Amino acid sequence: MNKIIGQVNGQESPRYAGLTTFARLPRREDVENFDIAVVGIPFDAGVTFRPGARFGPSAIREASRLLRPYNPALENRPFSDSQVVDAGDIDCNPFDIPKALSQIEAGLAELMSNGAPVVSLGGDHTIALPALRAAHREHGPLALVHFDAHLDTWDTYFEMPYTHGSPFRRASEEGLIRKDRSVHVGVRGSLYDEKDLIDDKELGFTIVSCRDFDRIGVDGILERVLERVGDTPLYVSVDIDVLDPAHAPGTGTPEAGGMTSRELLAVVRGLRHNKIVAADIVEVAPAYDHAAITSVAAANLAYEFISIMAGQQKTRPPRSK
């Protein structure tokens, strides 16, 4: 097996120096094989309110310079246990949404071939649909944990079927996700109609709302989520607006009354015994951010996903380039 190349040494080169890759990890082209890939998907043509998530990947990478090699919460060294790489950005058409979806699916399918887990940095939530298509090709129907203030199971906007408000309706219709194994976490805010909830249930989702945190806390929430997803291969999608605007102001459709970043990290860590085949972190829109609050949260979340995936890598043969 090839020697693992980890982060640029922060004791030799200050962490604010040098070219930016996620967590100062090697680029994909710098190593022979990789176990886990981080990839940017700078696409935001599917938004319904504030645009700007196309700048998410570069802002998250910049914020990830601070990440260190040892994860004390999970007691592992993700960048030494596994070869983690920054696979750059997937080029996708900013004007033609169906074309962009197929480009994103192809790019992710190539990275995921041979079962390698991938963390995608969006981009708006539209990208979850091609990501689920790619993961489904490799792993079959998936359990889904979807962190979001919003349901994202609406049908169309201005008669358009592919937007950031509809990826999970399409995913359910296409059979990409298990109707008995999918859950939204952190839902809150106003809806168009009570029917939104009825439709959502028919599409196969249960809801853990933000108000539930006050009642049953992180442990109670986790119990419900883990029971729902079981041991089915899991896709985790995080819309950063699941966090309260105090914890993530830099996003397109903020809603009051959200999770803290501490709660979100705790729930994500609670998924560490599940087989997470892919994850995304979407809707980071740096133009509305302050002092990188939102991109720091996103970078730390990506680190937790990578740490969980690295803990699950030991049994998998290395993937070739």
| Distance (Å, whole) CA 10 – CA 24 | 9
Task: Candidates 9-17, 63-71, 118-126, 193-201: pick the segment binding Mn ion (CB under 5 A).
Answer: 118-126
| Min separation Cβ 56 and Mn ion, Å | 13
Binding residue for Mn ion, selected from 105, 152, 244, 289, defined by CB under 5 A: 152
| Distance (Å, whole) CA 10 – CA 256 | 38
CA–CA distance from 26 to each of 1, 37, 73, 183, 223 (Å)? Answer: 17, 10, 24, 34, 37
Whichever of 87 and 101 has its CB closer to Mn ion, that residue is: 101
User: Per the structure block, which two tokens stand in for 299?
Assistant: 């970078």
Query: Residue 145: CB partners within 8 Å, gap ≥ 6?
Result: 182, 183, 185, 225, 229, 234, 235, 236, 237, 271
Assess 125 for contact with Mn ion (CB under 5 A).
yes
Instruction: Judge if the upstream peptide bond of residue 258 is cis by omega within 30 degrees of 0.
Output: no
Number of Cβ atoms within 10 Å of the Cβ of 194: 7
CA–CA distance from 260 to each of 225, 237, 243, 265 (Å)? Answer: 18, 17, 6, 9
| Min separation Cβ 286 and Mn ion, Å | 17
User: Per the structure block, which two tokens stand in for 113?
Assistant: 């071939």
| Min separation Cβ 171 and Mn ion, Å | 12
Assess 124 for contact with Mn ion (CB under 5 A).
no
Binding residue for Mn ion, selected from 239, 244, 280, 304, defined by CB under 5 A: 239
| Distance (Å, whole) CA 75 – CA 269 | 11
Whichever of 248 and 296 has its CB closer to Mn ion, that residue is: 248
User: Total number of residues binding Mn ion (CB under 5 A)?
Assistant: 7
| Min separation Cβ 241 and Mn ion, Å | 4
Whichever of 189 and 311 has its CB closer to Mn ion, that residue is: 189
| Min separation Cβ 239 and Mn ion, Å | 3
Task: Give the full edge-to-edge strand order of the sheet including 276-282.
Answer: 84-89, 36-41, 118-122, 276-282, 234-239, 142-147, 177-187, 205-209
| Min separation Cβ 308 and Mn ion, Å | 22
Assess 150 for contact with Mn ion (CB under 5 A).
yes
Binding residue for Mn ion, selected from 35, 86, 241, 244, defined by CB under 5 A: 241
3-state secondary structure of 103: helix
Helix locations, the chain, DSSP H: 56-63, 78-81, 97-112, 128-139, 167-173, 195-202, 211-229, 261-269, 293-311
Binding residue for Mn ion, selected from 85, 121, 131, 149, defined by CB under 5 A: 149
Site map 74..113 versus Mn ion, x via CB under 5 A:
----------------------------------------
- How is 272-314 classified by DSSP, letter by letter? TTS-EEEEEEE---GGG-STTHHHHHHHHHHHHHHHHHHHT-T
Assess 148 for contact with Mn ion (CB under 5 A).
yes
| Min separation Cβ 236 and Mn ion, Å | 13
Whichever of 285 and 310 has its CB closer to Mn ion, that residue is: 285
Task: Candidates 93-101, 145-153, 179-187, 221-229: pick the segment binding Mn ion (CB under 5 A).
Answer: 145-153
| Min separation Cβ 235 and Mn ion, Å | 14
| Min separation Cβ 31 and Mn ion, Å | 33
Assess 280 for contact with Mn ion (CB under 5 A).
no
Residue ranges in contact with Mn ion by CB under 5 A: 125, 148-150, 152, 239, 241
